[in-house]
Structures are given as C-alpha cells and as structure tokens.
C-alpha cells in the first residue's frame, strides 16, 4: 500500500480558533472510523497524520502575529522593529545574482527566475532558536526547482544565500549588530529536499517586507535563523560557506542548526518552546517534527556536534 507522507501540517490542524475546540471532540470519532478501516471524512483530517507520531495540535498562527513579531536585524533588533521600519525596502524590481559552480552564472530578474515553476502552498512549523515558534502558511516554489534551473556543476556541494546590502533601504545595517550582509547556507542535498522552499508569499498574500520580501528561504526542520530573508545572491560552492550567526557566535549557532530538543543552546534549553499565542510551553520535536522527511540526510553525523 502506498501511504503518502504529508510534508506539511494537515489542514485539520490549522483550523481557525472557533472550530478548533469542536475538532477536539471529533478526533475520537475520526480515529474510530480509521480503525474500522473506513475513510474518515476529509474535513476531520484523519486520513493524514501529523509528521511525527506525537500528537500535534498545530493551528495557524494569526497573520497579525506572524507579521508583527519578527527577527530581521537589518531593520532593528526589537521584535516590533521590522514591521515598523521595513517600509524603506523596495522589493521590486529585484534581481538575484547567481554564480559559483553553476552552468551559466548570471544576474536573474526575480520574475524570470521563478517563471513557470510550480507554485506551492505549505503550512510549516517555524521554530526560532530563541525558543518561540509559529505555524505559517507559505506560498512559493521548491528550492530544488530553482536549483534545477540553475544547473549546478557536479562539483557543487553547498549553496550560499546572501541578503541585500543597502543601508538606505535597510537602516539596521548602519549598525554592526551582525557582519553585513546576512549570509546563510545549506548542503546541496539539504537544499534539494522537497521541504525546502523559496517563499514569495504567506497567508495567501505577497510576503510582507518584514518577513523577507520578495524572496526568502524556508527550511522548516532548522532553526529560524537559517531562513534567510530578502535574498539577492545564490552561489554554489564546493566548500561549506560561512554564515552570519555562526560567524557571530560559533558555539551558539551551528551551520546545520537542525531543531533538536536534546541539544541545548549554551544559554537556554531547547527541549521546550513557546508557541506564539499559546499559554503553556510545548515540547520541541526532533527536526521540528520533520524527522521522517529529513532524518536520513544526517545519517552517521553526530547530531550533538552538528548543532
Ligand atoms: N536577512 C535576515 N534574515 C533573517 C533574519 C535576519 O535578521 N536577517 N533573522 C532570522 C531569524 S533569527 C528568524 S527566527 C527568522 C524570522 O522570520 P520571521 O520574522 O518571518 O518569523 O528569519 C531569519 N532570517
Ligand atoms: Mo530566530
């Protein structure tokens, strides 16, 4: 039997608050139907399981919270700074420099880069290394589809991403809170994983400036700082690229930065998280709940070492 494995959160788990309470009463009935071998009504979501065995009640974070509580140091270090200050960012026209180990290095207009690629809607958990989390509906394309268009050469092993450097548009860059521009990177096989996405939208709308317009990386099994915003350059390399947070504090922010409840940050536990909008803290899940889809990428690696 072919069981399709859900990448994203079952739609039943992202119901608005009003229906959420009712759903809890329905779960038992849906489970009974499933046990009886019957197809439970899709609206109950019983035909799709959470990404891990652990029961999850992931409901969508209110759009207002996801777009007003942000980390985007190019606009300030306070959570409310990005929304307040990101109006100076001009997300169009936008180009992305593609270079390094690709068939044909070139500067792409963003719309040309994405033209014709399959659009995706994905609801992903989003777990910041600071131990807060959200559940966000993203729209965009698979990173692997963009990479296929760029045709990495056989020697390419990593992909590096760079954020815009422009203190006029990004006033936070007038202060050396990080070494600008912000940089991030993935191993190429991580980047090719179907979960990895380049988002252009969220909540069915164009992605707001404060969330990383016009193009932002989403890698839901990793801590949020890997999800680099406002990308202007994609470079393929054969060596592991340096990354902003790892440069700033290597003992606190690893290159891999996979969500791992058993490896604490030097200054706080990663076993639990505060879901924005909820009162009680939740248990953090291994690989943020995506172990089935990404765990094999790290076979043989010491996950304690590769924080
Ligand atoms: N360029 C850039 N990208 C960035 C950051 C940043 O400061 N600058 N912050 C990161 C961190 S720490 C997190 S948790 C997420 C936050 O994304 P959100 O504001 O959409 O929730 O963006 C990541 N991407
Ligand atoms: Mo973060």
pLDDT in tens, 42-88: 333 333 444 443 446 899 999 999 999 999 999 999 999 999 999 99
Q: Ligand 1 centre from 71 Cα, in Å?
A: 4
**In ligand 1, which atom is closest to the CA atom of 128?**
14
Give the residue from 218, 235, 90 showing the smallest Cα distance to 164: 90
What is the band of 10 on the pLDDT scale with cuts at 50, 70, 90? low
Task: Write out residues with Cβ below 6 Å of ligand 1.
Answer: 70-74, 126, 128, 163, 182, 211, 224-225, 227-230
Sign of CA pseudo-dihedral 127, 56, 194, 143: negative
Token pair belonging to 201: 């939208």
Q: Ligand 1 centre from 72 Cα, in Å?
A: 5
Q: Output the residue whose Cα is nearest ligand 1's atom 20.
A: 211
What is the band of 8 on the pLDDT scale with cuts at 50, 70, 90? confident
Q: Ligand 2 centre from 225 Cα, in Å?
A: 4
CATH architecture, domain defined by 61-295: Alpha-Beta Complex (3.90)
Ligand lying nearest the CA atom of residue 77: 1
Q: Output the residue whose Cα is nearest ligand 1's atom 6.
A: 72
Residues 6 or more apart in contact with residue 16 via CB below 8 angstroms:
59, 60
Ligand lying nearest the CA atom of residue 202: 1
Tell me which DSSP letter residue 265 carries: B
Tell me which DSSP letter residue 204 carries: T
Which residue would you say has higher pLDDT here, 68 or 17? 68
Q: Ligand 2 centre from 167 Cα, in Å?
A: 22
Token pair belonging to 205: 């709308």
Q: Output the residue whose Cα is nearest ligand 1's atom 14.
A: 224
Answer whether 265's CB lies under 8 Å from 129's CB: yes
Q: In what order do the strands lie in the sheet with 183-187?
A: 106-109, 95-100, 231-237, 158-163, 183-187
Whole-number pLDDT of residue 160 = 99
Token pair belonging to 32: 């009974």
CA pair distance 3, 55, nearest whole angstrom = 19
Answer whether 181's CB lies under 8 Å from 164's CB: yes
Q: Tens of pLDDT along 100-142?
A: 999 999 999 999 999 999 999 999 999 999 999 999 999 999 9
Whole-number pLDDT of residue 30 = 42
Q: How far is CA 179 from CA 89, 167, 182, in A?
A: 19, 13, 7
Answer whether 15's CB lies under 8 Å from 23's CB: yes
What is the band of 204 on the pLDDT scale with cuts at 50, 70, 90? very high
- In angstroms, what is the C-alpha Rg of the chain? 20
* Angle, alpha carbons 202-205-211 (nearest 5°): 45
What mean pLDDT value characterizes the chain?
Answer: 88
For the chain, give every domain's residue range.
61-295
Q: Tens of pLDDT along 247-261?
A: 999 999 999 999 999
């Amino acid at each position: 039997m072919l069981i399709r494995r859900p990448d994203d959160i079952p739609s039943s788990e992202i119901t608005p608050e009003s229906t959420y309470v009712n759903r809890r009463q329905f779960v038992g009935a849906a489970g009974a139907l499933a046990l009886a071998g019957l197809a439970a009504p899709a609206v109950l979501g019983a035909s799709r399981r959470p990404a891990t065995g652990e029961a999850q009640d992931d409901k969508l974070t209110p759009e207002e919270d996801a777009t007003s509580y942000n980390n985007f140091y190019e606009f300030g270090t306070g959570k409310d700074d990005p929304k307040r200050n990101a109006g100076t960012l001009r997300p169009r026209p936008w180009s992305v420099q593609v270079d390094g180990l690709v068939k044909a290095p070139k500067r792409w207009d963003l719309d040309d880069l994405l033209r014709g690629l399959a659009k995706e809607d994905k609801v992903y958990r989003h777990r910041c290394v600071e131990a807060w989390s959200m559940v966000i509906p993203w729209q965009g394309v698979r990173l692997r589809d963009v990479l296929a268009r760029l045709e990495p050469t056989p020697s390419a092993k990593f992909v590096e991403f760079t954020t815009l450097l422009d203190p006029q548009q990004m006033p936070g860059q007038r202060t050396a809170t990080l070494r600008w521009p912000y940089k991030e990177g993935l191993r190429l096989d991580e980047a090719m994983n179907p979960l990895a996405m380049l988002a252009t939208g969220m909540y069915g709308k164009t992605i707001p400036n404060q969330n990383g317009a016009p193009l932002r990386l989403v890698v839901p099994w990793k801590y949020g700082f890997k999800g680099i915003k406002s990308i202007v350059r994609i470079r393929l390399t054969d060596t592991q690229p340096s990354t902003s947070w790892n440069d700033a504090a290597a003992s606190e922010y690893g290159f891999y930065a996979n969500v791992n409840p058993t490896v604490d940050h030097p200054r706080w536990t990663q076993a639990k998280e505060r879901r924005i909008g909820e009162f009680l803290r939740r248990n953090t899940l291994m690989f943020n709940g995506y172990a089935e889809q990404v765990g094999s990428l790290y076979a043989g690696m010491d996950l304690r070492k590769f924080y």
